[in-house]
Amino acid sequence: MAENRSPHILSTSANLLGICFIVLTSLKKLALNDGSLIDEFAVAAVMFFMTSCILSFISMRRQKTTSQRLEKAADFIFLSGLLVLFVATILIAFNLIK
């Protein structure tokens, strides 16, 4: 019995996408982007989460066989975005990037 994870992936990706946009906006407004890797990590996460959102949305609109492949791709890309955010958080926590 297959679970339909696409709605969960879509909502969570959209939430994390919003957080990444808040981070980018804050960095630009505070002019903290000089020599910083934080914005590069945030942009990478935005790309992963946006792709995951699109794939999961399309997955909900397709037939079952295509839908499962798109859902798996969205799931993998979502996990990649989470890993990018995790690495950025660890580097910030240990003051390795500023």
pLDDT digits (tens, 9 = 90+) for 7-62: 888 999 999 999 989 888 887 787 765 557 888 888 999 999 999 999 999 998 88
Distance in angstroms (rounded) separating the CA atoms of residues 15 and 12 = 5
Q: How many CA atoms lie within 13 A of 90 on its CB side?
A: 6
pTM here is 0.84
Q: Which of 84, 69, 48 is nearest to 6 (CA)?
A: 69
DSSP H/E element including 67: helix 64-93
CA dihedral (7, 17, 87, 9) in degrees, to 10, reads 0
pLDDT tens readout for residues 50-77: 999 999 999 988 888 888 899 999 999 9
